[in-house]
Structure 1
Amino acid sequence: MKKQQRIMMRILTIVLCAALLMPLLPMNAKAVTPGQAGAVGIDVSKYQGNVDWNAVRNSGVTFAFIKAYSSYSGVDPYFARNITGANAVGIRTGVYVYSYATTVEEAVAEANAVIGILQNYTVTFPVAIDIEDSSQKHLSPEQLAAIANAFCATVENAGYYPMVYASKYWFQNRIAPVAYDVWVAQYAAECEYPGVPSFWQYSCTGSIPGIAGAVDMNYQYRDYSFIVANGFSQRGGNTYFYLNYRWQRGWIDYNGARYYCDVTGVMRTGWIDLGGAIYYLGEDGVMSTGLRPVGDAIYYFGTDGIRKSGLFEIEGQHYLFDAEGKMFTGWHITPEGTYYFSELDGHMMKGWYAENGKMYFFDEMGHMVVGFREIDGFKYYFSIDGTLQTGWLNLNEGTFYMNEGGQMYYGWLALPDGIYYLDPENGNMHRGWLSAGGNTWFFDLATGKMQTGWVAVGENMYYFNPDGTLFKGVYADAGGIKYCDPTDGHLVVGFVEIGGNTFFFDPANGGYMLINTTVTIGEQVFLIDANGFVVGM
């Protein structure tokens, strides 16, 4: 219903404009002659009976107007035979309606009737309204022009090229100027119509091979090869599209591509907005689909041609398009996570990514990874800004070491500043005592470094070999002899019985064993010989 209302409004606009702006044609005219004509044709109806269209073509006739309909007699009984026969031999075919309309509404009804009749036929020339009936003589010039314009607007809206037929006298005396091409009847040596008519019906008593009896003869003065065309047609700086010689509007599918012609029939290019759906049509008019660069941005159009916004998977890659449809590149931070879209082609980064000497990793959903993440059997750590970490990590979970490739280190680790042990299960740096394989080590409680030499642990002293293993038993150095407990390795001081003999390790002298001396403990005095044996009291 809305579409019909729009069509009627367009018809009324044309009718009113023509009535208000165009007075009756002046009587003085510059004549057109047969010598100026571009082609010769005929118009036929049931009155010509059976036509031999091959003979007509061979006589030099290149076009024919065929009566299709009148509201009084209906479809011309020879219409189908005539239009099919003329088309079959290559004669361009127009049609006409003999009008009895006395109102705009009746003219629209006549137009709709002929449009319905033509649906199964090819019409390659204009569709004309023939205004000459005696029932129309009482109408004013403005009323007749309104009838002609209403008919033509309706035909035009259906994709056909409209035209008005009348005699020169009617055009100059009965019909106000119309907004469409004219076909003028004047049976004379010249057509004295103001301006140049599209067609001149110069005789109603013509005789040509293929038709028994008289036939109307016409000259053509306007070239319709680009006006009523098939396929694309350039005209007045614009491109139009005709399908089976019918002017098209709206979406057009042609040769595997899609085009759009607006309400005026002009093929559109560039950006168009159809009810909020945004499309882009190339310079050739082809509707864009898929990824398409436009200006300095790249856009994505669905298979329906509509510009998309948001995140889309395209050929296995994900891309992000902003509210204006522009492809997003660079870092994108959302409540769901942080993403990176390639500066080169816009695809969502997944896996490893290097930027400014820093490494990042994005999971299978494109989220930038933070914290610990196992990748291909190795464990990595990414800071809150997503950068891969190397070296020591001091975290709430513990202390860890990541090698130059960012992989977590496990087990023994030798660095220039010392030796460390990292838990083989979780990589956490070990502190304190460690026993393994019959050996014992101690790692500094603060730094985690493996200890060597004499080390105070709690209230005891221990000695750790250069390889960090705990020493047990008799210890000798340049300062003398010390004794480390054979069970737990702590430095023993005071009296110690070893191998059935008693020795004294002086707590006041770093635990060294005393020799050739006495030692007083309380009120007792002990004698110690040259071997360190306690020999008397």
Structure 2
Amino acid sequence: MRSVLTLILAAAAAIASPVGELAKRSQPKGIDVSSYQPNVNWAKVKSSGVSFAFIKATEGTTYKSSTFSSQYTGATKAGLIRGAYHFARPSSSSGAAQAKYFLAHGGGWSADGITLPGVLDIEYGPSGHTCYDKSHSAMVAWIKDFSNTYHAHTKRYPSTSRNSSITRSASFASTNPLWIARYASSIGALPAGWKYTTFWQYANHGSNPGDQNVFNGDSAGLKRLAKGS
């Protein structure tokens, strides 16, 4: 995933206090990858201490990552908890249409203890158009359309990314806990509505492929999140 402010569904019981520098060293570590990292050595990633991975599956309603299947299978065989993410294109089709496309091409969820709920990666629009030429209210509606459609099929809520800067809405905080991207030694202030983060993307490179992440909890909490308990 590129520089992102993303939300991901999590059970409140699985989440601890905001992650700091010390927690970044001790709590479950993860990566997120896409076709930009086509040849991940998942056994090596696992042996380095990584516990989870997010893998790009789709974009809009026309793009399917050519590496998703091999990456997802590789992460599974290595024993990682894994989940899929969808790169949003709000200007091309409805939120519901994109949620259904994501669900049909790897973005589903099951209570098997190794599958994380799907993530909606919603970044700035092309050429610096912050809201894809939509009003803030229209962006909120688009995200809700995606989120509610995903929930209707899985009973879990996905993410809504860059919510603070794109929609300035705190209305998702009660259903979609936070996955924040901030490349610094500490998280700093959180977007309106959230008192803690669930995942922190703290670097866009590191000793493992892709972006570097940490879960705000312990290994048991990560497993509960995947299981949906």
TM-score, normalized by length of structure 1?
A: 0.33
Which has the higher relative contact order, 1 or 2, with Cα contacts under 8 A spaced 6 or more apart?
2
- Opposite residue 85 of structure 2, the aligned amino acid is Y
Q: CA deviation at 1:158?
A: 1.5
Q: CA deviation at 1:173?
A: 2.9
1:147 alignment counterpart: 142
Deviations 1:133-188 (A, max 9, x none): 3143433333223222221221122116333253xxx4433221224122111111
2:104 alignment counterpart: 116
1:445 alignment counterpart: none
1:93-492 residue pairs with structure 2 within 5 A?
A: 93-102=82-91, 106-118=94-106, 124-135=115-126, 136-159=131-154, 161-164=156-159, 166=161, 170-175=162-167, 176-177=169-170, 178=172, 179-192=175-188, 193=190, 194-208=194-208, 211=209, 215-221=210-216, 223-229=221-227, 233=229
Deviations 1:95-136 (A, max 9, x none): 110000148x61111110111113899761120111113143
Gaps of 5+ in 2: 1-16
SS class of match (1:126): coil
Task: Point out 4+ residue stretches in structure 1 off by more than 6 angstroms.
Answer: 119-123
Of 38, 42, 45, 1:49 maps to 38
1:56-95 residue pairs with structure 2 within 5 A?
A: 56-71=45-60, 74-95=63-84
Distance, in Å, in 2 between the alignment partners of 1:59 and 1:160 is 33
Of 14, 22, 25, 1:35 maps to 22
Distance, in Å, in 2 between the alignment partners of 1:73 and 1:45 is 16
Cα distance change, pair 174–72 in 1 and its aligned pair in 2 (3 A): same
The answer to whether the Cα contact below 8 Å between 2:108 and 2:117 also exists between their aligned partners in 1 is no
Q: CA deviation at 1:73?
A: 5.5
Q: CA deviation at 1:72?
A: 6.6
Q: CA deviation at 1:58?
A: 0.5
1:511-526 residue pairs with structure 2 within 5 A?
A: none
Distance, in Å, in 2 between the alignment partners of 1:165 and 1:121 is 17
Distance, in Å, in 1 between the alignment partners of 2:133 and 2:109 is 35
Distance, in Å, in 2 between the alignment partners of 1:70 and 1:110 is 8
Distance, in Å, in 2 between the alignment partners of 1:120 and 1:147 is 20
- Opposite residue 81 of structure 2, the aligned amino acid is R
1:16 alignment counterpart: none
SS class of match (1:206): coil
Deviations 1:476-531 (A, max 9, x none): xxxxxxxxxxxxxxxxxxxxxxxxxxxxxxxxxxxxxxxxxxxxxxxxxxxxxxxx
Cα distance change, pair 163–221 in 1 and its aligned pair in 2 (3 A): farther
Distance, in Å, in 1 between the alignment partners of 2:122 and 2:105 is 20
- Opposite residue 186 of structure 1, the aligned amino acid is R
- Opposite residue 203 of structure 1, the aligned amino acid is A
Q: CA deviation at 1:35?
A: 2.5
Q: CA deviation at 1:92?
A: 0.5
- Opposite residue 56 of structure 1, the aligned amino acid is V
* Percent identity between the two aligned chains: 27
Deviations 1:23-76 (A, max 9, x none): xxxxxxx96413235311000000001111101100100000000000275110
Distance, in Å, in 1 between the alignment partners of 2:155 and 2:222 is 12
Alignment coverage as a number of residue pairs? 193
The answer to whether the Cα contact below 8 Å between 1:45 and 1:79 also exists between their aligned partners in 2 is yes
Distance, in Å, in 2 between the alignment partners of 1:224 and 1:216 is 18
Distance, in Å, in 1 between the alignment partners of 2:67 and 2:32 is 12
The answer to whether the Cα contact below 8 Å between 2:215 and 2:222 also exists between their aligned partners in 1 is no
Q: CA deviation at 1:227?
A: 3.6
The answer to whether the Cα contact below 8 Å between 1:203 and 1:218 also exists between their aligned partners in 2 is yes
- Opposite residue 181 of structure 1, the aligned amino acid is P
Deviations 1:254-281 (A, max 9, x none): xxxxxxxxxxxxxxxxxxxxxxxxxxxx
Q: Which structure dedicates a bigger proportion of its chain to strand?
A: 1
Cα distance change, pair 94–119 in 1 and its aligned pair in 2 (3 A): closer
- Opposite residue 158 of structure 1, the aligned amino acid is H
SS class of match (2:187): coil
Gaps of 5+ in 1: 1-29, 234-537
Distance, in Å, in 2 between the alignment partners of 1:184 and 1:165 is 11
1:7-18 residue pairs with structure 2 within 5 A?
A: none
1:310 alignment counterpart: none
Distance, in Å, in 2 between the alignment partners of 1:184 and 1:119 is 20
Cα distance change, pair 100–160 in 1 and its aligned pair in 2 (3 A): same
Larger radius of gyration: 1
Deviations 1:416-462 (A, max 9, x none): xxxxxxxxxxxxxxxxxxxxxxxxxxxxxxxxxxxxxxxxxxxxxxx
Distance, in Å, in 2 between the alignment partners of 1:200 and 1:102 is 27
Cα distance change, pair 60–157 in 1 and its aligned pair in 2 (3 A): same
The answer to whether the Cα contact below 8 Å between 2:32 and 2:54 also exists between their aligned partners in 1 is yes
